[in-house]
Amino acid sequence: MFLQELGPIEAEAFLTLACEMIEDDGIICLEENDLLDQYQKELGITGFSFDPTAAAAARHTLAQLDEVAKRKVYMELFSIAVCDCEEDVTERITLTSIRDALALSPHVCSELESCVYDLYSVYDEIEEALELDLSEDEDDDIA
């Protein structure tokens, strides 16, 4: 996670937009819930409760961040949008709205999205390698 420098107000604003992103497609999957729990722990926020009416204020709060922090926020929100291996049209609309609220260029956001896809690809490779090692160890134990 790249959001360690967020203060409590910005962290809650991020969680508000994260929840908005998760609920956008109408399907809340286990990966999304786990990711939200992880964000809450890493940001040090306990007892967070999503208020959909706070989304506009959350955008405004995060728009006050410096350029690099805004890019990190966008990248993390995009990773939530695609963590279920699908990007819904409503999620894209929300991402565009967030990009505009943060005054980020489409080019920068596209680059960040590519990085997230690359990162997920590496995670998949790691999972495969970990599973491969387990099956090889089991075969060695049998022999």
- Local confidence pLDDT in tens for the 143 residues of the chain: 688 899 999 999 999 999 998 888 777 777 888 888 999 999 999 988 899 899 999 999 999 999 999 999 999 999 988 887 777 788 899 999 999 999 999 999 999 999 998 888 888 788 888 888 565 555 555 55
User: What pLDDT, on the 0 to 100 scale, is given for residue 84?
Assistant: 76
Residue 3 lies in a domain: no
**How many domains does the structure of the chain reveal?**
1
Q: 2: Cβ–Cβ under 8 A, 6 or more apart, which residues?
A: 72, 75, 76
Could you tell me the residue range of the domain that residue 23 belongs to?
8-142
Residue 122 lies in a domain: yes
Rg of the chain (C-alpha set):
17
Q: Give this prediction's pTM.
A: 0.83
Residue 91 lies in a domain: yes
Assign residue 123 the CATH number of its domain.
Answer: 1.10.3680.10
User: What pLDDT, on the 0 to 100 scale, is given for residue 139?
Assistant: 58
- Residue 83 has a CB neighbour count (10 Å cut-off) of 18
